[in-house]
Amino acid sequence: MAKEKSSRVHKRKRGCLGGCLVRIVLLLGLLALLFVGACVLGFVRNDPQTGAPSLSFEVIGLEDGQLSDLSAIHLGDLSGMLEGIDADSWPYAVAKSGLTVKTLRAGEGEAVLVCSDGYTMLIGGGSSGTLLCGQLLLCGAGRLDAALMLSCADEQAGGMAAAVSLLRPGYLLYPDSQTKSKAFNNVIAAAQKNGRTQLVAPPQGMSFSLGRAKVTVIGPAYRHHTDERDDGLSVRIDYGATSVLVMGGVTTAGEREIRSSGAPLRADVLICAQGGGSEATGADFVAAVSPRIALLTGAKPANPVIVRLQKAGAKVYPARDHGVMTVYSDGSDVRVVP
């Protein structure tokens, strides 16, 4: 019995040692991969005399001592890096002309990049600033002309402070809600700090141009709801004869108010509220919008919502199946690249 017990102990020790060695090898491999990637991207420079490698951030305009302050980073337009890439095979491709509406994966909540003839706008911020900023850079976004906070909730605004600090939008549109979360306060503080961003609490019906696109705030119809989600902003984007609705985090009650207010709702593309959650995208609202295409950005969209949209004739694209999804418009027709 003693020998058998001792044998089991030795086997466990060998198993633990083997597992540790595997983890160490994997970690070293990851570090080597990161080092090679940094060399390829130009972040690693060799001393001309000694040949010793060193990390440099000159390629993005970042000087020593500024790593802790995103507002100190100066990014040029990175779109040239993506030239020649097939839009149908590269999920972060952005068309140089026309309208591009791209749903990003930034944790919970909505994060939508809108590009119209070279002008850019971020709608929503998701919950992760790291994921959001990384994907914006992959899209070639070196600046933002505007940013729009869909909601004060952490899952809708958690990542936007980093984007506002890094890309310094000319305007920040935010919801006028009685509830001010920590994420909301961080976004406002980032906008005030960078010295470039103007703050606007838009009323329903306010519109502005983004290139040849017209962006209209269609909700909320009223302010200071019992359910703070209905204080969030919803927008309509018109480009030529095509249109896209982005509904944010509102509930069916908020959708009903917007519909009753007479706001223009019929659209080609609907980016559903709450990512396709069960508390939004009601039957009457779907009938009013009558979309040809519906994008569901949530991890677990509700099956009744999917069925409701399909019965209305919409082609449904859930993010759980397609990941980053992109709508392209030339002003006369729209197409989706999931």
Q: Quick check: 79 pLDDT over 60?
A: no
Model confidence at 151, pLDDT cuts 50, 70, 90, reads very high
- Could you tell me which of 327, 325, 322, 156 has the C-alpha nearest to residue 244? 327
Whole-angstrom Cα distance, residue 149 to residue 322? 25
Alpha-carbon distance of 110 to 105, in angstroms, equals 8
Residue spans of the domains in the chain: they are 2-55, 70-337
Say what the pLDDT of residue 27 is.
Answer: 63
Instruction: Tokens for 206, please give them.
Output: 């306010």
pLDDT at 77: 46
Quickly count: other Cβ atoms within 10 Å of residue 57's Cβ. Answer: 14
The torsion region of residue 236 among left (phi > 0), alpha (psi -120 to 50) and beta comes to beta
pLDDT at residue 107, as a whole number: 86
DSSP string, 219-281: E-SSSS-SSGGGGS-EEEEEETTEEEEE-TT--HHHHHHHHHTT-----SEEE-GGGT-TTS-
For the ranges 85-99, 100-114, 116-130, the lowest mean pLDDT is seen at 85-99
Q: Does residue 316 surpass a pLDDT of 90?
A: yes
Across the chain, mean pLDDT equals: 83
| The pLDDT value given to residue 173 | 97
Mapped onto helix, strand or coil, the DSSP state of residue 123 is strand
More confident residue, 115 or 27: 115
Tell me the pLDDT band of 224, cut-offs 50, 70 and 90: confident
Q: What is the mean pLDDT of residues 132-137?
A: 94
Which CATH architecture describes the domain 70-337? 4-Layer Sandwich (3.60)
Percentage of the chain modeled with pLDDT above 70: 74
Give buried/exposed letters for 109-144 (b at 16+ CB in 10 A, else e).
bbbbbbbbeebbbbbbbbbbbebbbebbbbbbbbbb
Residue 276, pLDDT above cutoff 80: yes
Q: Which two tokens stand for residue 294?
A: 């519906």
pLDDT, tens digit, 9 for 90 and up, residues 229-269: 999 999 999 999 999 999 989 999 999 999 999 999 999 99
∠ CA 54-56-57, nearest 5°, is 165
What pLDDT score was predicted for residue 195?
Answer: 87
How does pLDDT run across 14-73, given as a tens digit for each residue?
A: 555 565 566 666 666 666 665 555 554 454 455 554 444 544 434 333 333 333 344 444
Quote the pLDDT of residue 235. 98
Q: Which two tokens stand for residue 45?
A: 């420079």
pTM: 0.77
pLDDT value for 259: 97
